[in-house]
Amino acid sequence: MSVNRNDVVQAVAAKTGLSQADADKAIKAFQDVVVENLTAGETVALSGFLSVGRAERAARTGINPQTGEKLEIPAGFRVKVTPGSALKRAAQG
């Protein structure tokens, strides 16, 4: 089973006493803060919960699976999410 955005909005609204519209705004604001900080090269860390940062990815040579042709993939960035202790405990069941 998977939890979608609407499920999260409803759960946050129920736990905080916010309306669903306000809970949705809060989640959207959090999303914006994470994106803005990643764009600026910063890491967003919620102690004990998770850390979201940007990691460099080196240039590399790839292969087109349809043609077998080699192609150069430029260096870039990826998103790195590191779970905190609370998430690690939750995953253990």
Domain ranges in the chain are 5-92
Per-residue pLDDT tens for 65-91? 999 999 999 999 999 999 999 999 999
Query: Over the chain, what HEC string results?
Result: CCCCHHHHHHHHHHHHCCCHHHHHHHHHHHHHHHHHHHHCCCCEEECCCEEEEEEEECCEEEECCCCCCEEEECCEEEEEEEECHHHHHHHHC
pLDDT at 50: 96
**Quick one: average pLDDT of 38-43?**
96
pLDDT at 93: 78
**Quick one: average pLDDT of 25-54?**
97
The number of beta carbons lying within 10 Å of the beta carbon of residue 77 is: 13
The pLDDT > 70 percentage for the chain reads: 100
Q: How far apart are CA 56 and CA 36, in angstroms?
A: 17
Q: Which CATH architecture has domain 5-92?
A: Irregular (4.10)
Residue labelled with tokens 């349809």: 66
Mean per-residue pLDDT over the chain, rounded: 96
For the cut 90, the answer to whether the pLDDT of residue 1 exceeds it is no
